[in-house]
A and B are shown apart, each in its own frame.
Chain A
Amino acid sequence: MLKIENLQCSINANPVLKGLNLSVKPGEVHAIMGPNGSGKSTLASVIAGNDNYDVDGGDINFDNQSILEISPEERARMGIFMSFQYPVEIPGVSVSNFIKTAVTAMRKFRGEKPLSSSDLLKAMKENMDLLKMDSGFLSRSMNEGFSGGEKKRNEIFQLAMLNPRLSILDETDSGLDIDALKIVANGVNRLRSAENSFIIITHYQRLLDYISPDHVHILSDGKIVSSGSAELALKLEKEGYDEITK
């Protein structure tokens, strides 16, 4: 599904990713861990198509085609979703209106008719229950005045509504207390399927206590230095990054 080959990226001429390889198959959950500044969030942004980053070399293939020249909205419509580490505020735009617009855009791309308001509302209600969000959420302005936890839940809510094939969770666990973490993890687990894949970017092991990954990769200085099963994360937790990236 996703194949990244020798990816090199920079921001303002500072190299961040220095030859990264990653392959994700349908249904797989990959965790990417690494110390601060190792390039984790850059990787997420570059896959999603943020043009603040320059791609200097290598390639990103999705469904066997290079997506480097494809706009971020088209990548999203192809089924790539990113849960933002810092979701932005959009004042005056309600959560329900925003999600409706996004869902409609995606459906339009797939040649489907817009969902009726009642079907849409039903889907929203189901997913809000899943994430233990109260219904007042829908009429609030996107991320405006949201707590850190509410913002992250709102991201996973959108993920659930859009049902993407590849979801990239960029430090979704940061700023979450343990209860919120469990709720978010439970939401993600419910969305796992044989078709849907996840890349979970995290600094700590604790999210992986609730979402068990098929593969764990350690990113250091712009490269994946170690890959393994879920045990690798536990080992990392015990020994620290220094030991493993040595």
Chain B
Amino acid sequence: MGRKKDKEIIGELTSKKYPYGFVSDFDSDTIGKGLNEDVVRLVSRKKNEPKWMLERRLEALEILRKMTPPKWANLKFQNINLQDIIYYSAPKKKASLASLDEADPELIKTFNKLGISLEEQKRLAGVAVDVVIDSVSVSTSFKDKLADLGIIFCSMSEAIQKHPNLIRKYLGTVVPAKDNYFAALNSAVFSDGSFCFIPEGVRCPMELSTYFRINEAGTGQFERTLIVAEPGSFVSYLEGCTAPQRDENQLHAAIVELVALDSSEIKYSTVQNWYPGDKNGKGGVYNFVTKRGIAHSKAKISWTQVETGSSITWKYPSCILKGNDSVGEFFSIAVTNNFQQADTGTKMIHMGERTKSTIISKGISAGKSNSSYRGLVKINRRAKNSRNFSQCDSLLMGNLCGAHTFPYIDVKNSSSVVEHEATTSKIGEDQLFYCNQRGLGNDEAIAIIVNGYCKDILQKLPMEFAVEAKKLLELTLEDSVG
């Protein structure tokens, strides 16, 4: 009952049309559906962007026009009509509630199950006022501390205004507009996002999270993130939120670029829980994300992700191991239930000598869902004495779901070692009965089995995140065995 009900409620919340329309003071703030040069110009003008940024956007639009959506993923969905999307709307006046008492009790129940703090609940449920004030003060004190160390952490819009040289130098260098269809789309119309810069030799003293700049949020549909770690620096960055998001957007096409300069380390953790559609497969977010990092000499990039939301996930956080002795890691848990589809994995491109990569992917499929691991390990001729270890495990629940593994391995020299292990298992009736016999109900049994299965990866997450991620896994799979 619990899960289905939650989903319905979240479904209602997320599929509801914005009741106040996209209207504001000036006519020019409201534009219709569709994508063309005028729209791109308008987006750029609204954000008061410099000319070079507009030119980049227009270039990306040109590239996009010549491209077609990728068809190779193991996903089934109707064509996305880019002309049917609104690309700019004035900052939305949220339908603010006076207090949590006015919020949907079922939504609050879900929040409580996830153990989300009251303040956070207010923000997520759309309660106005004091919360923002609180977070401003939190964010300000953090910002002071970070600024002392020379760390820049701000929205992408702000960075374009205040740090144009850094943005011009790095934006689009890891994921150029021509990379793929959705990257071109994002490059043309990206709404906002985060920028993070860690100066040489600085170890960022806290986990950077978008949470701390929620007052500036407005992340939206086409998010753009850039993280630059100068030589010898370290940063751990958390993306996402474990709470169900209120979101009116069907298509999300984000880009994340990581630049890890010599001997630096970037750890990027994601928990994604967007609306997955209802139990009949209706609605839900299409999540087409391009995430990639470039690791220079002796640098390390580590991606950890827990994907439980969205009706379609198309996502391959990748590492270009450019420098000698650089290291790339990818740890992933992808859960699909009902009619969700996930095609996710990674690419490890070994270019430098003695580069190392590790891939651990855990897919969990329940209901009628489909989950695919797709990964490429490419070791170039020059990348001598490189190593890769890949482990791709799939766990199935019931007889109606599917799990697929598509590993591509391309090794161009003879001194490198590539290992690949894969398993597929099913939560057996015998495992469930064993747990039942020890007093655990089906939901508790699935929770403990799944958490055990994902343990290696949950351990990679920053602790607070890990606790929430565990609860999220349990919530996602509630009632998945009838």
Residues of A within 8 A of B (CB): 48-50, 52, 71-73, 76-77, 81-82, 84, 87-88, 90-93, 97-98, 101-102, 105-106, 109, 141-142, 158, 162
Contacts and interface: CB of A to CB of B under 8 A. Distances in A.
A101 B453 CA distance: 16
Nearest to A75: B437
A90 B456 CA distance: 14
A102 B445 CA distance: 10
Given A52-B429, A73-B439, A84-B434, A98 B448 contact: yes
The size bracket of the interface on B is 20 to 34
A76 B439 contact: yes
A93 B437 contact: no
B452 A102 contact: no
Interface of B: 428-431, 433-442, 444, 448-449, 451-456
Given A88-B428, A88-B430, A105 B437 contact: no
Contact of A105 (B429, B439, B451): B439
A109 B448 CA distance: 18
Contacts of B438: 76, 98, 101-102, 105, 158, 162
Contacts of A73: 436-437, 439-442
Given A76-B436, A106-B439, A93 B451 contact: yes
Contact of B433 (A72, A90, A91, A106): A72
Given A92-B451, A92-B456, A49 B444 contact: no
A91 B453 CA distance: 6
Contacts of A98: 438, 448
Nearest to B450: A92
A60 to B, nearest CB: 15
Contacts of A48: 433, 437
Given A88-B428, A91-B453, A98-B438, 17 more contacts: A48-B433, A49-B436, A76-B438, A76-B439, A84-B434, A92-B452, A92-B453, A92-B454, A92-B455, A93-B448, A93-B451, A101-B438, A101-B444, A102-B438, A105-B438, A106-B439, A162-B438
A93 B444 contact: no
A98 B444 CA distance: 11
Given A72-B433, A84-B434, A92-B455, A77 B449 contact: no
Nearest to A109: B439
Given A52-B429, A88-B430, A101-B444, A93 B439 contact: no
A211 to B, nearest CB: 21
A81 B456 CA distance: 31
B154 to A, nearest CB: 40
A92 B430 CA distance: 17
Nearest to B423: A91
Contacts of A106: 439
B335 to A, nearest CB: 15
A88 B434 contact: yes
Contacts of B456: 92
With most chain A CB atoms within 10 A of its CB, the pick from B428, B435, B442, B451 is: B435
Contacts of B429: 52
Given A92-B452, A93-B449, A87 B434 contact: yes
Contacts of A109: 439
Contacts of A52: 429
A102 B448 CA distance: 10
Given A52-B429, A88-B428, A88-B431, A97 B448 contact: yes
With most chain A CB atoms within 10 A of its CB, the pick from B436, B442, B449 is: B436
Contacts of A91: 452-453
Contacts of B441: 71, 73, 105
9 contacts: A49-B436, A82-B437, A88-B431, A92-B451, A93-B452, A97-B452, A105-B440, A106-B439, A142-B452
A92 B431 CA distance: 13
Contacts of B442: 73
Nearest to A168: B437
B76 to A, nearest CB: 31
3 A-B pairs with the lowest CB-CB distances in the bound complex, closest first: A92-B452, A93-B452, A102-B438
A102 B447 CA distance: 13
B453 A105 contact: no
Given A52-B429, A73-B441, A76-B439, A141 B452 contact: yes
A59 B148 CA distance: 75
Contacts of B430: 88
A87 B429 CA distance: 13
Contacts of A77: 439
A87 B455 CA distance: 21
Nearest to A92: B452
A82 B454 CA distance: 28
A90 B453 CA distance: 8
B164 to A, nearest CB: 48
A88 B438 CA distance: 12
A105 B435 CA distance: 11
Contact of B449 (A50, A90, A158): A90
